[in-house]
Amino acid sequence: MIKTKLQRCLHDKLATGPLRGPVIALLAAAWIAGCGVGTGGTGAFGSAPVNGFGSIFVGGIEFDDTRAVVINDDGAPVARDGNELRLGMMADVDGTTIAAGLNGPTSTAASVRLTRAVVGPVTATDVGRRTLSVLGQTVIVNGSTAFDATLHGGLAALKAGDMVSVYGLAGSSGQTVATRLEPALSGDAWRLRGPVAGLDTNTKRVGIGAALLDYSSAANVPADLANGQWVHLTLSGTSIGGVLGVAAFSPLPTPPADAAHVVVEGLVAAPTMQGLLRIGAISIDASLATITPAPAALVAGAHAEVSGRLTAGVLVADKIKLLTAQEAESRSFQVIGTVGGLSATNFVVRGVAVDASAATYVNGAATLLANGVKVRVQGTLSADGTAVQAARITFL
């Protein structure tokens, strides 16, 4: 494999003398800094679906979001009303240095930015194949796709013409694995996020997935617009001859330049021989990473969880876990809070509907369930994605 700049630089330094073991360890940080890549910051950053509430769980980290600013697609603050964060939403979270909690790593969030992959009208649905089409993008639904409580029946509740907001893992081929589907709000602008293809600077047209877009009247067009560049488009809501009008190039979320603990989840863009790859707009150096189940599985479109540190804006990965289809289908969700709306074995915690009919109880029994009792609920989503099917309930 071709070495990265960092690998070549360290190799050259090692070749200058007979240093061994502990001495190399002591000098490593200084050498890395001397190679021009820095050593990273001290905070935490997560970019992944929200898979629990305690505060919020993103990328396996529990972020205390009590004082966090929540930001929408355009970078504007969102009112904190207790319902602004929901299961399956894609979130970019900036937080403090990781600490060891009773149930895993914890951090205090300073900001939580919510990012939608697609907002627009449904063109078609295919319940059998578990797909829908929105603005020329193929949206894939699986067992870990959360659906808004109003969409009983999951994908079957949607029909052509419905306006939807899609949170998900957007790939480089026009496919998005949905992590949450919900009705778009009245007045929501059409949106599309993804990599540019088929750029024609003469006709001012670009493609994203199967969508053809005209940006001749768009605001904030990047001066360096190029194929492969990740963009976030606000659309005009019109289509002329099958070509969608672009109203503006909207700002993309920007991760911190440096962070000591980073977790990113998404679909891999084509990796290079140098161990470089991309998930969304985040550049990743995978040359020194441990890859499971095997490096050969690291291919374009693979569903990956990447951990490492951000250094000068690049995620230097130490671990990459590639999820199998079964793992992607059966994501674990966790909700911590007080029971409300109890009816038989159904109740609500932190705005999340819970079906406890098949749950195992810890520190008590089902007879102790009552409104106002604090619990931790762990499980997977119900068949239609509108509730958590509890596997384990712990009384707190």
Q: Which of these, 133, 201, 204, lies nearest to 164 by C-alpha position?
A: 133
What are 372-392's pLDDT values in tens digits? Answer: 999 999 999 999 999 999 999
Half-sphere exposure of 253 (CA within 13 A, CB side): 25
Torsion sign over Cα 380, 88, 387, 129: negative
Q: Which two tokens stand for residue 226?
A: 């190029």
Q: Which residues, 6 or more positions from 228, have their beta carbon under 8 angstroms from its beta carbon? A: 195, 196, 197
Question: What's the pLDDT score for residue 273?
Answer: 74
Domains defined along the chain, listed by start? 5-34 (no CATH), 44-114 (no CATH), 118-183 (2.40.50.320), 191-250 (2.40.50), 333-395 (2.40.50.140)
Query: 244-295: per-residue pLDDT in tens?
Result: 999 999 988 888 999 999 999 999 987 887 789 999 999 999 999 999 999 9
Q: What region, left, alpha or beta, does residue 88 occupy, with left being phi > 0 and alpha being psi -120 to 50 degrees?
A: left
Residue 18's pLDDT band, with cuts at 50, 70 and 90, is: very low
- Report d(CA 204, CA 201) in Å as an integer: 5
The whole model's pTM is what?
0.88
pLDDT band at 29 (very low <50, low <70, confident <90, very high): very low
pLDDT above 70 coverage of the chain, percent: 90
Residue 13 has pLDDT above 80, yes or no: no
* Buried b or exposed e, range 387-396, using 16+ CB within 10 angstroms: bbbbeebbee
pLDDT of residue 40: 54
Residue 17 confidence (pLDDT): 41
Q: Quick one: pLDDT at residue 274?
A: 79
How large is the average pLDDT for residues 92-108? 92
Q: Where are the alpha helices (DSSP H) in 175-311?
A: none
Residue 271 has what pLDDT? 84
